[in-house]
Copies of this chain bind each other. A is one copy, B any other.
């Protein structure tokens, strides 16, 4: 009985290297160790067994079921948000974060309390819809250890870059961010 061993279609690989649609304009460390600066970023659906020539790093994550949003919140999100790949979304950001052991030791109600009741994570994100499109990838429960717990991918038009900065500023000021011990911030543009 050979069981399937292909990657789920929910798995994505982000490769910092010499290739890819996205040109890297900035790589910053927000908290902890940074990632090395590379000329380009490639976003690949599926797994990457080996780093391509000239690539410096590979981050993998998987989209999954929602962990915090309620039905009411999701209904609002779905009605407001737009998908990735809009023609006007020529800017993007990849924000990898890792949460502390204290975060992961909490129970669901404790995490939700910090995530939404105290930090308003979902409400903050909603303020920036549909301008800022996003896709969340989970890394913590992959079969191989990953350097981050989450990779969030954002896409937006250049005119909405100030909104994106405001979104990040608001999130980073929340009680939730006290449970983040590594965060990088990679900015990207599509070459015209």
Q: How many residues of A contact B (CB 8 A)?
A: 45
Taking a contact as CB atoms under 8 Å apart, the answer to whether A74 and B107 are in contact is yes
Chain A contacts with B in 106-165, Cβ cutoff 8 A: 106-112, 138, 140-147
B143 touches A47 (CB 8 A): yes
Whether B143 lies near A68 (C-beta < 8 A) is no
CA of A41 to CA of B189 in the docked complex: distance in angstroms?
Answer: 51
Give which listed residue, B69, B70, B141, contacts A142 with CB less than 8 A. B141
Q: Which residues of B sit under 8 angstroms from A143, Cβ to Cβ?
A: 7, 11, 47, 60, 62, 142-144
Q: Is chain A's interface secondary structure helix, strand, loop, or mixed overall?
A: loop
Residue of B nearest to A70 (CB): B109
Q: Which residues of A contact B (CB under 8 A)?
A: 1, 3-8, 11, 35-36, 47, 56-60, 62, 64-71, 73-74, 104-112, 138, 140-147
Contact A108 B140 (CB under 8 A): no
Residues of B within 8 A of A74 (CB): 107
